[in-house]
Structure 1
Amino acid sequence: MPHLHTQPDGHDLTASAFVFREAGDGPEVLVHLHRKLGLLLQPGGHVEPTENPWQALAHELREETGFHLEQLMVLQPLLPVQGLTHDNPHPLPAFLNTHEVGSGHFHTDLVYALVADEPPRDAPGDGESLDLRWLTAEALAAQPEAPGDVAAVVSMLVRDVVPHWHRLPASQWPLETRRSPRR
């Protein structure tokens, strides 16, 4: 999807995820070689005008990795609030940042941490990168195509989030938008 806010210093909202799996050398993270940028990045993309961030993440994961939310656990610092009748709850991101993409355009990214216990159900979508890599934090940091900030975030997640946060089924957060009752 093209940028929504194209004026100088425009900001777009994005959602992305670092998907981890357990391996012999410790957790590995799934990254892909971005087709246009030539960088190893987590899957993710723009939150479209008709989407909430959780919906955007679900479709980006399917398109870029073949994973469906039903296959994943989302890492959360707290258990979800129960009994909501009006609000649409979403998982909490593990990290939030704003970064420049191109000259004078910014993305504010909601970065989620997920865990996979099985391979993706599908292949990446047409036109998506097929260069997907499972790497330890150390191996990612050693890749010349890996931005230093991406490696630093993965290291923090491996140290502070993956071993400590609750693992909850990602499918327990609804994708549909709950509408307010008419009064």
Structure 2
Amino acid sequence: MNRHFTVSVYVVNNSRVLLHRHKKAQILLPVGGHIKPNELPEEAARREALEEAGITIELCDIDSLKQHNVDTEREKVLINPVHTVWGEIEAGHEHIDFVFYAKSVTDELKPEENESDVLRWYSEEELTQIKDFLLKDVYYMAKEAIQVYRGENKDA
């Protein structure tokens, strides 16, 4: 079996979420990719957003323990993903995907060379219009990310 750890990042700006046409899969997905050796998931999320969209992001950090100053000299509380998803990509090839929500202060996109240049910000209404063309998890997580940053979904 071939199992990889990956990140997906639903980036929100002005109540819109960023999706791109994945070059290999040819479907709309959030930015993301494989976690490199010795890379933390939160580092991979930031790197992938920068590579695939040319944007700097702030990850959604809902860990309540951070407010209680639990960081020490030798430990750090990491930013937890909002969701962790297992998926079989094809027979014998699996991904364990750490799903993050994030916000960007800019909506100007500058993907690196050789990255998908089919990127777009989608409102909730636009997501609903293309719902039948999206994977179910992409649709629901994209909507949830918008709602989280609007303050409508306190559970995520």
Equivalent residues, number:
148
The answer (yes or no) to whether the contact 1:38–1:145 under 8 Å persists in 2 is: no
Q: 1:137 to 1:56 in 2, by over 3 A?
A: same
Aligned mate of 2:60, from 43, 54, 75: 75
The residue correspondences of 1:1-183 to structure 2 (distance < 5 A) are 8=1, 10-22=2-14, 27-68=15-56, 72-79=57-64, 80=66, 82=69, 83-120=71-108, 123-143=110-130, 145-159=133-147, 161-162=148-149, 163=151
Unaligned runs of 5+ in 2: none
State the Cα deviation string for residues 126-174 of structure 1 (Å, max 9, x = none): 1100111100234224325421221022233334x32156xxxxxxxxx
5+ long unaligned stretches in structure 1: 1-7, 166-183
Deviation at 1:113, TM superposition (A): 0.7
Q: Give me the identity figure in percent.
A: 26
Out of 54-63 and 38-47, give the one that drifted further. 54-63
The two structures have a TM-score, normalised by structure 1, of 0.72
Q: Which has the higher helix share?
A: 2
Letter in structure 2 aligned against 1:44: G
Cα RMSD for the two superposed structures:
2.1
Per the alignment, in what secondary structure is the counterpart of residue 101 of structure 1? Answer: strand
Any conservation in 1 of the 2:21–2:116 contact (CA below 8 Å)? yes
Higher gyration radius (CA)? 1
- Asked whether the 8 Å contact 1:15–1:56 carries over to 2, the reply is yes
Given that 2:10 and 2:30 are in contact with CA atoms closer than 8 Å, whether structure 1 keeps it comes out as yes
